[in-house]
Amino acid sequence: MFFYLILLFTVLPAVELALLIKIGGHIGVMNTLTVIILTGVIGAYLARIQGFTVMRNIQESMNQGRMPTEEMLDGVMILVGGIVLLTPGFLTDTIGFLLLIPITRLLIKNLVRRYIHHLMEQGNITTHNHSSRRINDDFEDADFS
């Protein structure tokens, strides 16, 4: 886990900075800043639209008596995509847009699901089934009026 944090907080920003310098050298500083601002605005708009759609889907699932696990996973991915899009950089913007577009999000969600199942098979993740049980089924209605 520590290794992933090092990658996240040191290597990723260094790669982003190198990309910004390289692309900025080709298209200019103002164009680079414009692209960064536009991806942030477009990403926030997409995250908002996708977030509202997922919230509506969660409500529909719950109204039908289903646990909205898929919709909740979509919601987490949209949240991460929106946050990543707010950080300046081309690599993080690409990741953010991939998480916000429904088709690519579905592909990423399937990869995440397979990875979680793999971890479960290895025993790195365990699940507990807490089913609801009635303690006493033989009770009578009481009238307290």
Render pLDDT for 96-127 as a digit per residue (tens, 0 to 9): 999 999 999 999 999 999 998 898 888 877 76
Domain count, the chain: 1
Taking 80 as the threshold, does the pLDDT of residue 129 lie above it?
no
**CA-CA distance, 78 to 64, in Å (whole number)?**
23
Residue 143 placed within a domain = no
Residue 31 placed within a domain = yes
E-strand stretches of 8-142: none
Tell me the two tokens of residue 93.
């913007």
Question: Average of pLDDT values for 15-23?
Answer: 94
- pTM for the complete prediction? 0.76
Domain span holding position 116? 11-122
* 38-81 confidence digits (pLDDT tens): 998 999 899 999 999 999 999 999 999 999 988 999 999 999 99
Residue 137 placed within a domain = no
* 30-40 confidence digits (pLDDT tens): 999 999 999 98
Residue 75 placed within a domain = yes
Question: Average of pLDDT values for 133-144?
Answer: 50
Taking 70 as the threshold, does the pLDDT of residue 130 lie above it?
no
Residue 108 placed within a domain = yes
Residue 138 placed within a domain = no
> Within 10 A of 5 (CB to CB), how many other CB atoms are there?
9
Residue 94 placed within a domain = yes
Taking 80 as the threshold, does the pLDDT of residue 4 lie above it?
yes
Return the closest-CA partner of residue 95 out of 84, 107, 103, 111.
Answer: 84
**CA-CA distance, 107 to 78, in Å (whole number)?**
14
Residue 103 placed within a domain = yes
